Structure 1
């Protein structure tokens, strides 16, 4: 049965670190650490920052969901600006931003988005390594 962690943050830049902390805590509870945890947290940082920056709905809340289902981890970031869909931006070398989705595309196994009746969700899927798929069983057992 999948394990899920969902939380919401206000649509404000100052709450992006809070989202990272929630994600890192959930990953640690599921024994996902090291490089994969860093990859998921960095991807979440980019997706949450995009939602906070580009959502045009005032006083919105950003919903973040992590789902661990067997060997797959799904990260979803949803905001109520359903018609403003994400796309990878070709950033020039002098531009300060615009590389977040390109980074997520490199880090995740696959990413995408979907429109819901009152929101859009941008998601990224990660495959856990073989050692994380199976619970650790001591050799003495």
Structure 2
């Protein structure tokens, strides 16, 4: 998707639709939407990307979220800032950490950029 602020709600909408199709529980959908929003927003705000990718996969009892950016000269691996709970920026990664069993980054296989991933508990809705 284009690396624009207006793409964030579109990414969230697509994720929500996919999770509904998969039959994910409401809490899973809410948590994944929040994590996607935070990570996608960071990719738009803190990299020189023209495009940002978003992928989901169910792996065992987890759902893996991967947000891929194209990097940039000042892009670095995201990290929560000390004291950022009281500041405007940085709170999103505390939320990602709180909702995820694990999260991290890795370089993009094809060159410039990085993948920020998060694994959240996954369960389907009770029928």
Q: What's the TM-score bracket when you normalise by the shorter of the two chains?
A: 0.7 to 0.9
Looking at structure 2, the residues matched to 69 and 98 of structure 1 have their Cα atoms a distance apart, in angstroms, of: 28
Alignment of 1:1-141 (within 5 A): 9-57=1-49, 60-81=50-71, 84-90=76-82, 91=84, 93=86, 95-116=87-108, 117-129=111-123, 132=124
Q: Which has the higher contact order (CA 8 A, sep 6+)?
A: 2
Q: Give the unaligned 5+ runs of structure 2.
A: none
User: Structure 1 29/92 Cα, relative in aligned 2: closer, same or farther at 3 Å?
Assistant: closer
CA 1:92–1:46 in structure 2 vs 1: closer, same or farther (change >3 Å)? Answer: closer
Q: TM-score, normalised by structure 1?
A: 0.79
Structure 1's unaligned 5+ residue stretches are 1-8, 137-141
Change (3 A) 1:30 1:118: same
> How big is the alpha-carbon RMSD for the aligned residues of Structure 1 and Structure 2?
2.0
- State how far apart, in whole Å, the 2-side matches of 1:48 and 1:81 are: 13
* 3-state SS of 2:48 partner: coil
Deviations 1:30-51 (A, max 9, x none): 0013111100100110000000
After TM superposition, the score normalised by the length of structure 2 is 0.87
In the TM superposition, what whole-angstrom CA distance separates every residue of 1:33-78 from its partner, at most 9, and x where no partner exists? 3111100100110000000100124xx1000000113322100001
> Contact conserved, 2:57 with 2:63, CA < 8 A, in 1?
yes
The alpha-carbon deviation at position 92 of structure 1 amounts to: 5.7
